[in-house]
Structure 1
Amino acid sequence: MNVLRALLVAVTGVLLLLPLNVSAATKKVIVGFHRPPADHEENLVYAAKGRINRTHRQIHAISAELPEEEITRLKKDPSVAYVVDNIKFTLIRPTEPTSAPPPEYVDSWGVLRIGSDVAAARGFKGAGIKVAIVDSGIDYNHPDLKDNYRGGYNFVANNADPYDDDSQSHGTHVAGIIAARDNGTGVVGVAPEASLYAVKVYGANDTGGDMATLVAGIEWAIENKMDVVNLSLGFSGDIYSVYPGIFKPLHDVCDKAYKAGIVLVAAAGNDDREIVSVPAAFDSVIAVAATDQNDQRAIFRMNNVQSPLASSYGAKVELAAPGTVIRSTVRGGGYGFLEGTSQAAAHVAGAAAVLLSTGIADANGDGSRADEVRLKLDDTAKDLGNPGRDKYFGWGLVDLAAATVETRKLHLVRKNGPPRFDMQSIMLGKGSYSVQVKNNGLERVVVNAPEGNSRDFERVFAYSFTSSLQDLGVAVTLNEAQTTLAFTPRGEVGTTADITITKLAP
Structure 2
Amino acid sequence: MSNPEWSRRDVLKTLGTGAVGVGLGAAVLDRMERYIVGAHDPDAVAAASTISDVHEERIDLTGHTPLTLVVGAYSDAGRRSLLTRNDVAFVQPDRTLSLFSPAGGRAVRDAPDQVLPWGVDRVDADVAHDEGATGAGVDVAVVDGGIAADHPDLRAALADPSVEGNHRAWVDCEGENCPYPWADDGDHGTHVAGTVAAAEDGGVVGVAPEATLHALKVCSAGGGCRTSDIVAAIRHAADQGWDVVNLSLGSPAASPALEAAGQYARAAGVVLVAAAGNRGQPDSVGYPAAYDEFLAVAATTIDDEVAAFSSRGPEVDVAAPGEGVCSAVGGGHDVLDGTSMAAPHVTGAAAQLLAAGVSPDEVRDRLLATAEDLGASDTAQGAGLLDVAAALDYDSGDDGTGDGTGCPA
Band of TM-score, shorter chain: 0.7 to 0.9
Query: Match of 1:191?
Result: 208
**Counterpart Cα distance in 2 of 1:196 and 1:99:** 24
What letter corresponds to residue 28 of structure 1 in structure 2? R
SS in 1 for 2:57: strand
Letter in 2 for 1:206: G
What is the rounded CA distance, in whole Å, between the counterparts of 1:254 and 1:319 in structure 2?
A: 18
Aligned to 2:407: none
Alignment CA distance shift 1:6-1:128 (3 Å): same
Matched, 1:29 2:38: no
1:81 Cα deviation from its structure 2 partner: 2.8
Distance 2:338 2:57 in 1: 32
| 1:175 corresponding residue in structure 2 | 193
Q: Separation in 1 of the partners of 2:117 and 2:132?
A: 19
TM value normalised by structure 1: 0.65
For residues 370 and 339 of structure 1, the distance between their equivalents in structure 2, rounded to whole angstroms, comes to 29
Among 294, 297, 307, the residue aligned to 1:288: 297
- The one of 232, 242, 259 equivalent to 1:216 is 232
Hey, what's the Cα distance between the residues in 1 that align with 2:180 and 2:39?
29
- Kindly provide the CA deviation profile for residues 252-302 of structure 1, in whole angstroms up to 9, marking residues without a partner as x: 110121122111111111111111011110111111111111111124xxx
Partner amino acid, structure 2, of 1:138: I
Letter in 1 for 2:81: R
Matched, 1:92 2:91: no
Does the CA contact (< 8 Å) of 2:101 and 2:341 recur in 1? no
CA distance in 1, matches of 2:88, 2:119: 47
Matches of 2:171 and 2:107, distance apart in 1 = 34
- The alpha-carbon distance between structure 1 residues 95 and 32, as it changes in their structure 2 partners (threshold 3 A), is closer
Deviations 1:380-415 (A, max 9, x none): 1111115xx7111111111112111179xxxxxxxx
Residue 44 (structure 1) aligned to one of 47, 57, 82: 47
CA apart distance, 1:50: 2.3
SS at match of 1:273: coil
Task: Look up the match of 1:109.
Answer: 118
Q: Which residue of 2 aligns with 1:384?
A: 374
Contact 2:107 2:335 in 1 (8 A): no
Output the amino acid matched with 2:389: A
* Aligned equivalents of 2:393, 2:387: Cα separation in 1: 11
Q: Are 1:268 and 2:282 matched, yes or no?
A: no
Bigger helix share: 2
Report if the CA contact (8 A) 1:152-1:160 is conserved: no
Amino acid at match of 2:338: G
- Corresponding residue of 1:73: 81
What one-letter code is carried by the residue in structure 1 that aligns with 2:169? N
From the superposition, tell whether residues 73 and 165 of structure 1 become closer, same or farther in structure 2 (CA, over 3 Å).
Answer: same
For residues 76-475 of structure 1, the aligned pairs below 5 Å read: 76-94=84-102, 96=104, 98=106, 100=108, 107-150=116-159, 151-157=166-172, 161-166=181-186, 169-183=187-201, 185-207=202-224, 209-236=225-252, 239-240=253-254, 247-274=255-282, 275-299=284-308, 310-332=309-331, 334-360=332-358, 369-386=359-376, 390-405=378-393
Cα gap change, 1:296 to 1:106, in 2 (>3 Å): farther
Percent identity of equivalent pairs: 40
Contact 2:128 2:394 survives alignment (8 Å): no
The residue aligned with 1:449 is none
Query: Kindly tell me: are residues 133 and 7 of structure 1, through their superposed partners in 2, closer, same or farther at Cα, counting changes over 3 Å?
Result: closer
Q: Evaluate the alpha carbon distance shift between residue 26 and residue 66 of structure 1 in structure 2; reply closer, same or farther with a 3 A threshold.
A: farther
2: CA distance between counterparts of 1:7 and 1:370? 44
Counterpart secondary structure, 1:52:
coil
Secondary structure (helix, strand or coil) at the match of 1:82 reads strand
Residue 265 of structure 2 aligns with an amino acid whose one-letter code is: A
CA pair 294-6 structure 1, distance change in 2 beyond 3 A: closer
Using the TM superposition, give the Cα deviation of residue 205 of structure 1 relative to its aligned residue in structure 2, in angstroms: 2.6
Q: TM-score, normalised by structure 2?
A: 0.80
The alignment of Structure 1 onto Structure 2 pairs a total of residues equal to: 355
Of residues 62-71 and 265-274 in structure 1, the stretch that sits farther from structure 2 once superposed is 62-71
Give the secondary structure class of the aligned counterpart of 2:135: coil
Contact 1:27 1:68 in 2 (8 A): no
Could you tell me how far apart the structure 1 residues matched to 2:107 and 2:228 are? 38
Alignment partners' CA distance in 1, 2:150 and 2:258 = 31
Distance 1:252 1:93 in 2: 25
- Spell out, residue by residue over 1:423-460, the C-alpha distance to the aligned partner (whole angstroms, 9 max, x if none): xxxxxxxxxxxxxxxxxxxxxxxxxxxxxxxxxxxxxx
CA–CA separation in structure 1 for the residues paired with 2:18 and 2:208:
56
Unmatched segments (≥5 aa) in structure 2 = 1-12, 20-24, 62-66, 160-165, 174-178, 396-409
Higher relative contact order by CA 8 Å / sep ≥ 6: 1 or 2? 2
Pairwise CA RMSD: 2.8
| Structure (1/2) with the larger strand percentage | 1
Q: Distance in 1 between matches of 2:56 and 2:230?
A: 13
Structure 2 counterpart SS, 1:51: coil
Unaligned residue ranges in structure 1 (runs of 5+): 9-18, 241-246, 300-309, 361-368, 408-506
**1 CA distance for matches of 2:357 and 2:91?**
42
Decide which structure has the larger Cα Rg and report it.
Answer: 1
Range 52-61 or range 134-143, more displaced: 52-61
